[in-house]
Amino acid sequence: MIDLKNCTIGIELGSTRIKAVLIDEKHLPIASGDFEWENQLVNGVWTYALDTVHTGIQACFANLKKDVEAKFGVKLTTVGALGVSAMMHGYLPFDKEGRQLAEFRTWRNTMTGPAAAELTELFGFNIPQRWSIAHLWQAVLKGEDHLPRLDYLTTLAGYIHRRLTGERSVGIGEASGIFPIDSQKLDYDQTMIDKLDAKLAAKGYPWKLRDVLPQVKVAGQAAGTLTPEGAAFLDPAGDLLPGIPLAPCEGDAGTGMAATNSVRARTGNVSAGTSDFAMIVTEKALGVHREIDMVTTPTGLPVAMVHCNNCTSDINAWVNLFAEYSELMGTPVNRGELYTKLFQKAMEGDADCGGLLSFNYLSGEGVTDLDEGRPLFLRQPGAKLSLANFMRTHLLSALATLKIGMDILTDAEQVPIDRLYGHGGYFKTPGVGQRLLSAAVGAPVSVMDTAGEGGPYGMALLAAYLLNKQESETLEDYLDQKVFSDAATVTLMAEPADVEGFNTFLKRYKAALPVEKMATEVF
């Protein structure tokens, strides 16, 4: 038996899957639902249609309901609290009537170079291409005709949150991927707001930034309740009741931090799925580095973020090819089992991949100055082309760009890291992704038994914090003392040979980057 009013739900719209997780009063995942989807490259823009967003989140919730009823024999009609998360950044503009003014431009796009460079110089603060403000300023630079009608600019999480509650707000971690944050005032940086408003005024638009940006809220603050319209949107079958409190919506970076208990200073996590990123909670302001974003935890602490657009998409493509071959030979395989076996096989390969090399760039990559990507596989004439080396190559390639960015944190900025956790699909096969990440960073890496749950689990925890927190209880203390005090955690340190092998691989990788760049120019 379960008491649904003591449970919370986290829903995350990830790059390839929308997933919902229900957790109980002990913060354990007890039911889930999902929906698979994929972005589309339409007229040169990486996007998702909002109709697909609606269909996907409703199908995901319907599957969660089925799982709850199958396991517990009850209808999912209410919970104590819920929250929504999604991939951060991007551009979703609307007019006063709520009509979408331009296609949803996701984090994956690298079309805002001039705007990002101009804003970085204006603010003295690194503005990456995928940030919402970079997309807005690029639209201004191009004079896009929808801008005079702009009433509201938000992210995917902010859009869904508004559909559920009617509120135009986002959590501070999500907001930190829209516009720079003042961690003392827990709001957008007013000095930077004023600088850009002055430039906007010269353009003659009838709005200022605060008119169109969502309000900023921090973890633990009430962020509205589920309206009757919101309940009908999420659950068209009509079982879900309105009135459920919602936590501030967060980005996948913030939910990853919550899911791995990496919200204190000097802690960090690496999320590895379709994209990968490292989040290190810092004790000081850092210099301006193009490769490093400064975002925040769900409570507003500064976080150094190394974000890479590409991680497992190329691995997924090769696994699908192997699955297709198995079907051709009359022996269909379970995809989950195939991933596990191939990941395990990679650990039999040479530490430096035996002269094989791959670039997993399905799209552009800011860390390595590429506006477009072309997945490539290369091998030296005398290389050992074995299945183990082939798979290890793709697994190391998924971390290579991340390593280039993290070296700036650990070497140039001397940022200390007491704990580093891994989560996301890359770590689902026990001991594999964890050991390879340890080889990349040259430090121990921990993985919790909830690592595969990732963002939706983290969002459910933020909803639980809203529901259960005591007066003045911090999120850091809540996670330490009430969620993760008895968590099953495995910590691994790579062997010296693995570390040396990764460094050899990375040296070849950096040397071959001109090949990747040339590929984008000729093919």
State pLDDT tens for residues 317-349.
Answer: 999 999 999 999 999 999 999 999 999 999 999
Statement: 89-154+179-212 belongs to CATH 3.30.420.40? yes
CA atoms within 13 Å, Cβ hemisphere of 337: 5
The residue assigned the tokens 């720079």 is 180
Per-residue model confidence as pLDDT tens digits over 119-170: 999 999 999 999 999 999 999 999 999 999 999 999 999 999 999 999 999 9
**Which of the four pLDDT bands, split at 50, 70 and 90, describes residue 220?**
very high
CA dist 77 and 63 (Å) reads 14
**pLDDT for res 451:** 56
* Whole-number Å distance between alpha carbons of 147 and 249: 25
Where exactly are the structural domains of the chain? 89-154+179-212, 313-449+493-522
486 contacts: CB under 8 Å, gap ≥ 6: none
Indicate the Cα dihedral angle 395, 399, 401, 403, nearest 10°.
-140
DSSP-derived pairing of the beta strands 169-171 and 92-94: unpaired
Instruction: Inform me whether the pLDDT recorded for 418 exceeds 80.
Output: no
- The whole-angstrom separation of Cα 155 and Cα 174 is 8
- In terms of pLDDT, which residue wins out, 253 or 463? 463
Note the residue count of the chain. 523
**Across residues 29-38, what is the average pLDDT?**
95
Max Cα-Cα span within the chain: 67
pLDDT in tens, 231-248: 999 999 999 999 999 999
Q: Evaluate if residue 449 carries a pLDDT over 80.
A: no
Taking the C-alpha atoms of residue 421 and residue 453, their distance in angstroms, rounded to an integer, is 13
In this prediction, residue 452 carries a pLDDT of 57
Residue whose structure tokens are 């940022």? 415
Residue 329 phi/psi, 5-degree rounding, is -85, 5
Q: Which CATH architecture does the domain made up of 313-449+493-522 adopt?
A: 2-Layer Sandwich (3.30)
Residue 76 to residues 64, 133, 233, Cα–Cα distance (Å) = 8, 38, 15
Q: How does residue 453 score in pLDDT terms, banded at 50, 70 and 90?
A: low
pTM value is 0.82
Backbone angles phi, psi at 422, to 5 degrees: -110, 145
| Spatial contact of 264 and 273, defined as CB atoms under 8 Å apart | no
Q: Listing from the earlier edge strand, what are the strands of the sheet with 489-492? A: 293-296, 302-308, 276-281, 267-272, 419-423, 445-448, 489-492
Instruction: Give start and end residues of each alpha helix (H) in 310-453.
Output: 313-328, 335-346, 387-407, 432-441
**Would you state the structure tokens that stand for residue 248, as one six-digit string?**
């501030």
Q: Is 73 left (phi over 0), alpha (psi -120 to 50) or beta?
A: left
pLDDT in tens, 247-285: 999 998 899 899 889 998 888 889 888 888 898 998 877
Summarize pLDDT for 353-379 with one digit per residue, the tens. Answer: 999 999 999 988 988 989 899 999 999
Q: Do domains 89-154+179-212 and 313-449+493-522 have the same CATH topology?
A: yes
